[in-house]
Structure 1
Amino acid sequence: MDDTTLTSMEGYYMAIDDTHIHDSLQDLDDPTSLKRMLNIAKSSTAATFVLDFNDEAAYATFDLPFASTSKLLDAERPDASYARWVNLWRPFEQQAILEVLARRYDSVARGNLYRIIDDLWHYSSVDLGRSYVCIGYNSIFGTKHADSEDDNGILPHCTRIWTWLVLCDDSTVITINEDPFPFAGGVLSGTQQRILQETRRNLLNVFRSLSRVVEDERMSRNPMALLPIRTRLGDTIEETAHREPDAPGLLFYYIFENWYNSYILVTRKESRYGVELVSLRAQMFKSPKLCHIDRLDCIGKELGVLKRHYLSYNRIIDRLLEPQVATPASLQGSHVISETSELSSLSTVRPMVTEKESLLGVSFTSAARSRFRRLKDLIDLYALSEVEEYLKQKDSLVTMNFNLIAMKESLDMERLTKITLLITKATISFLPVSLMSAYFSVQFDGIDYTVKEYWVSFAVILAMSWVMLFVFGVASGSVETVGVLQKVWQGSRQAWTSLTSRA
């Protein structure tokens, strides 16, 4: 490959002897090509793409055969390329390509971790090599697919997707995404298709931001939609001088960030947890039940999972930003020399390397490092703080529910006591009448009683008994007649209202 082809990305692709690469080559700055590529990226049948870009141009190829992909990865990169993005969907069907990437970068993780991460949603992995940095993490999407058959997991209203994200020292960024529906064979239902679009939202936004198509229109409509990866707002000499080294780290960062999908679960005003806690609070005041405690316990478990998930993101960021320092212990017994020292011997079997080349990981420029620090602040302020607040609300509602149940039981017991007292008083009020009736039933010689005399005596004694009980109730503070009559009246009105509304 001559020097002229290395100065042009289009010439670089055309210089590779492969018709599949030539036929699938797409220009991201062409509106028709961009629309076609976005439709492919949204489809469930898309498998891979390789994208190269700089300030002036960006080209991508989709779903190349394995032989063509291998040729493209093995070909010498063009000097004009600031960064390369290699993306894989459905990784179980891309084993051959994974092997090629593993041999080239020694970075792509092998083995099946899905069984672990399916049960441990906050599982994360950071692997540093001599020429790469590789992170593995879960992304959680609030898809709320209540009609899904698999809605009884740790977070029943969310979909979890595992991603491997690799930054290599040759400015290549590799993304390997878990297939959310591995047994669907590419044929998805309407609900599954909607979930797929949600899980690819951030990736598609990054992809779209690498194009210059309708840039001004997108900036005027939504400045946050255009990520400053390929295009920056500043055009000064100092700014443009750093675009090439900044590009790989910025691409790596914005793929990882995924703020909208991951943090919208708890940061929106209409967050499901906030809405449900408010609803539970209203239900408790109306009628506290023990089933509310069960739901609060489930909410607490879900919030605990989210808290550990966000903390795992903070740990990844800390590992990415921590400095890698060569120590005497790490250099002892190795064929590593100081960059300022003289080469003492050339007869060693192993190659001599400098301290800088011996360190693990790939360094990020200040542009990416500052954004990672900002992301950590966002996680602390708008994710973890919200989760902590919801957990406090949950704990207070549990305590409140128990207190309300105790108060309700106390009020029920008090109401039962009042009714019992009222019945007792009614029974006592008829006791003198019963004695009177027994007296009138006794046959005395020469004494006869008329019916009028009986009922007059009945009324007088009953009235005197009620007056005495009322006076005793006022004196002892146990008058219940008025309260009971009010409750009876209210119950009668509610029953009448219910009957008339049905009619």
Structure 2
Amino acid sequence: MEKDGQFADFDEDSTFKDCLGRAVLESTRNFVVQFGEESAEIAFDFQADAIEALLNSSSPAERPVRWINIWAPHRQKDILNLLGNHYKFSPRLLAIVGSDPPESKTQQDKPVGRFKAKLYRKDDIEVATTGMSLDLPRSPRKSALHDISHYALARQMINYQSHDVGAQFLCVGANWIHELKPLFNENDPEKVSEGRQKRLYSWLFICDDHTVISLHEHPGQVEDKEDLGAIRANTLSVLSQLSKLGTADPISMQTVRQALKLDPAQAHPGLEGASLLFYYLFDDWRAVYSTVATYHKRLDELQDAILGEVNRKANSSPNLQIIPRLHLLGRQIRQNQHLYEGYKNLIKRILEPKTTMAHGTSPSRTPTGFSTAPGSRGVSLALSATQRFERLSDRLELLILSETKEFLAEKDALVSTYFNINAQKDTEATARLTRSATLLAKLSVLFLPVSLMTSYFSVQIKDLEGVYTTQDYWYSFAVLMSISFLFLFFFSRLLMYVTETLDAWVKKVSHSGVKYMTKKFRQRDEEKS
């Protein structure tokens, strides 16, 4: 790999491997790739003077597309100012992309151990004891109005997005969700908090000179190198496939350089490359589809846990962690639903210049091939990229948004099923307690005559001394026990019949009495009148 700010052949094997390794380092600040159909070159960690020289020089004809990627833009404000002045960013846009993110300490989701989980289950609601608190993810809160900034709004509102256009650029900004590696075993049924996601804000610019600029929010302190790789996964995927040595499976294939093989009649081959690069940087399908797959898996696990409550023994407590897990999952699904709806709206805004052209005058075309609609609505994308954005919008609506709605409906159904199962369990337990109480009452009725007989035989009366023998006692015991046993079952049914009959008679008599008294009062009122 060459020194900082010096280009190297990206199609060379050693350079390719070094670049992919350097791109996942936290110390890497930026890189620039210039590529065409036949060649590509890359350089890392540009200083401001090198960026200025690069902007003042035109791209080589054999490498017409340029990609400038910057991580932690708030630490490279001198470069941002150069880019803003060159492409005529508005002062507000330039100030926003260079704003400092709020300092935040990384909070890790802590798993709940088996011992603590058992203590948690033994809490007694009746005596208001609490076993442990749930470490639920907390949303950041601001104490004063002057503390509100761009990043604070982006963290508080997941669908906070921006869309800016200028005479020389088109810019979109949004939150992107990155699925991180779990800190503990996903198959552990004792956990309360689930899933690790990192939400970061990114900007994408496409300029009228075939330059694409990507700016990414600083993720803060990242302890695990794999987490940083997961955050930069889509950027690394696009970067690797800009080299002829890059490979990918058919689903994740991102054809940027291959699309530069255009018709000889095409006057501006860089238009396809820049437009497709802009699209693939926007379409971070890994985070979207991996998140949906994770939600599906977690719903299946919760469904198994809830249906397992049917076979729960009566002497064991219900799984109190199911409801917190469903709450966390439902909140994450709703947040991502808002995020995907925002993506769909952004795509609509990106395609707006084309819609404007269809209804009005023909667009003007810049010397580099980009078209601008009337009213300086910014650059327009190539037809191939526009079609991809339209298909992406359809996929978001038909696959992602419809799936999230089904997830929310299934989550609500699982909550209802969980409470119905527990209500049925409680009903069965109440019925068992009622049967036990009835059995105890019957046993007391069964042994009451025997107790009275035993008391009679134990009374010290002189006239009865020597009259009764042990044999007389046991004969009397057998007779009374048999009679009590017979009366216990037959008389209980008779008592139920008599009770119901008496209740019916009482209701009938009371109804007749009320009717008779009402009739008498009416007759008296008529006689007085």
Query: Which category of TM-score, normalised to the shorter sequence, fits these structures?
Result: 0.7 to 0.9
Match of 2:270 in 1: 244
CA distance in 1, matches of 2:363, 2:336: 45
Alignment pair present for 1:168 and 2:207: yes
CA distance in 2, matches of 1:355, 1:176: 24
CA distance in 1, matches of 2:293, 2:264: 37
Aligned-residue Cα RMSD (Å) equals 3.3
Match of 1:255 in 2: 281
CA distance in 2, matches of 1:239, 1:458: 116
Match of 1:68 in 2: 50
Alignment pair present for 1:303 and 2:330: no
Q: CA deviation at 1:206?
A: 0.5
Call closer, same or farther: CA 1:393–1:226 in 2, change over 3 Å. closer
Identity across matched positions, percent? 32
- The match for 1:211 among 213, 225, 243 is 243
What secondary structure sits across from 2:164 in the alignment? Answer: strand
What secondary structure sits across from 1:134 in the alignment? Answer: strand
Q: Is the 8 A contact 2:299 2:411 kept in 1?
A: no
Call closer, same or farther: CA 1:230–1:325 in 2, change over 3 Å. closer
Q: CA deviation at 1:271?
A: 3.9
The amino acid across from 2:213 in the alignment is I
1:270-310, Cα deviation, whole Å (9 max, x unpaired)? 74532443244235433656654343233222211011011
Q: CA deviation at 1:89?
A: 0.8
Alignment pair present for 1:372 and 2:357: no
1:32-88, Cα deviation, whole Å (9 max, x unpaired)? 111111111111111111111110111111112221121112223323333110000
The amino acid across from 2:478 in the alignment is A
- The match for 1:201 among 233, 244, 252 is 233
Match of 2:402 in 1: 385
Q: CA deviation at 1:402?
A: 2.8
CA distance in 1, matches of 2:264, 2:363: 31
CA distance in 2, matches of 1:338, 1:195: 44
Alignment pair present for 1:224 and 2:251: yes
Q: CA deviation at 1:246?
A: 1.2
Call closer, same or farther: CA 1:39–1:459 in 2, change over 3 Å. same
Which segments of 5 or more consecutive residues in structure 2 lack a partner in the other structure?
Answer: 100-149, 185-192, 365-370, 498-529
Q: Is the 8 A contact 1:134 1:166 kept in 2?
A: yes
What secondary structure sits across from 2:95 in the alignment? Answer: coil
- The match for 1:313 among 321, 334, 343 is 343
Alignment pair present for 1:322 and 2:382: no
- In the TM superposition, 1:79-478 aligns within 5 A as 79-107=61-89, 109-111=94-96, 112=99, 113-146=150-183, 157-181=196-220, 184=221, 189=223, 191=224, 193-213=225-245, 218=247, 222-232=249-259, 237=263, 243-267=269-293, 271-285=296-310, 286=312, 288=318, 292-323=322-353, 356=373, 358-441=375-458, 443=461, 445=463, 448-472=467-491
Match of 1:344 in 2: none
CA distance in 1, matches of 2:431, 2:296: 40
What secondary structure sits across from 1:361 in the alignment? Answer: coil
CA distance in 1, matches of 2:162, 2:308: 42
Q: Is the 8 A contact 2:306 2:322 kept in 1?
A: no
Q: Is the 8 A contact 2:354 2:380 kept in 1?
A: no
Structure 2 length normalisation: TM-score? Answer: 0.71
CA distance in 2, matches of 1:162, 1:25: 28
CA distance in 1, matches of 2:36, 2:160: 35
Q: CA deviation at 1:116?
A: 1.3
The amino acid across from 1:231 in the alignment is Q
The amino acid across from 1:173 in the alignment is V
Q: Is the 8 A contact 2:37 2:62 kept in 1?
A: no
| Mean CA deviation greater in 238-247 or 165-174 | 238-247
Call closer, same or farther: CA 1:257–1:50 in 2, change over 3 Å. same
What secondary structure sits across from 1:110 in the alignment? Answer: helix
Q: Is the 8 A contact 1:27 1:58 kept in 2?
A: yes
What secondary structure sits across from 2:353 in the alignment? Answer: coil
| Mean CA deviation greater in 237-246 or 456-465 | 237-246
1:202-235, Cα deviation, whole Å (9 max, x unpaired)? 111101111112x6xx36xx23343210014x96
Q: Is the 8 A contact 2:205 2:214 kept in 1?
A: yes
What secondary structure sits across from 2:348 in the alignment? Answer: helix
Structure 1 length normalisation: TM-score? Answer: 0.75
CA distance in 2, matches of 1:255, 1:397: 37
CA distance in 1, matches of 2:293, 2:183: 21
The amino acid across from 1:57 in the alignment is S
What secondary structure sits across from 1:36 in the alignment? Answer: helix
Q: CA deviation at 1:417?
A: 1.1
CA distance in 2, matches of 1:197, 1:267: 20
Call closer, same or farther: CA 1:250–1:236 in 2, change over 3 Å. closer
Q: CA deviation at 1:438?
A: 3.6
CA distance in 1, matches of 2:234, 2:383: 23
Q: CA deviation at 1:365?
A: 1.4
What secondary structure sits across from 1:358 in the alignment? Answer: coil
The amino acid across from 1:226 in the alignment is M
